[in-house]
Amino acid sequence: MTAAQDWFVFWRSMVDNPARIGAVLPSSPRLGQRMARQVRLLPGEVLVEIGAGTGVVTQALLEEADVLPERLYIVELDPRLAAHLRERFPRCHVLEGNAADLPALLGEELIGKVGTVVSSLPIRPMSRAVQRSIVDASFAVLKPGGSLLQYTYPPLCPLPAEEFGLVAEGLGRTWRNLPPAAVWRFTRA
């Protein structure tokens, strides 16, 4: 899969639904690496990525975080991008659906086995109700003490952490992304 193919499939989905995609370009590999370096997968755990798009962060999770593809569950709402992810990562579990339905998408046996949820969702412009449904769904599948990683473009925390009962930690900004992006970690207060 070439970068040009990635851009083409991303661009077609972006034209169809710009609000859902929430970016004009796929993430840079550098941003993917910054996210992946925050992930430590313990024995028996699985990793979940939500809003995977073309799979730039997915690729970094496999390479930088050394995650076996069989332990990576990827959720993507856009059917075209989900098909692209299936083709690009045939050994990962690609789940086409809404991140707000994470417990149902993953199934009962994986609940509490998720160490980290890695999110590329355009979460900041979403309504409070939608943000809350995605945060609640993520923490419903996370193990106790598990965390939600999220990147965002503006220099502000992307979620109302206190209102949602979360502790937010800024993990730095990547300038080599268009636009530059900051990575945040959220845990339950």
State the residues that interact with ligand SAM by CB under 6 A: 10, 20-23, 26-27, 50-51, 53-54, 56-57, 75-78, 81, 98-100, 120-122
CB of 27 to ligand SAM, least distance (A): 4
Residues 6+ apart with CB under 8 A from 17: 78
Length of the chain: 189
Q: Which residue's CB comes closest to ligand SAM?
A: 53
CB of residue 81 vs ligand SAM: minimum separation in angstroms? 5
Q: Which is nearer to ligand SAM, 50 or 166 (CB)?
A: 50
46-50 vs 93-96, strand pairing mode: unpaired
CA 83/CA 80 separation, integer angstroms: 5
Query: 168 and 185 in contact (C-beta within 8 Å)?
Result: yes
> From the CB of 112, what's the least distance to ligand SAM, in Å?
21
Q: Which is nearer to ligand SAM, 48 or 99 (CB)?
A: 99
C-beta closer to ligand SAM: residue 162 or 179: 179
Tokens of 95: 């789940």
Minimum CB–partner distance for residue 25 and ligand SAM (Å): 8
22 or 158: whose CB is closer to ligand SAM?
22
- Pick between residue 22 and residue 146 the one whose CB is nearest to ligand SAM: 22
Strand partners for 151:
183
Cα(18)–Cα(28) distance, integer angstroms? 19
Q: Please state the closest distance from residue 43 (CB atom) to ligand SAM, in A.
A: 27
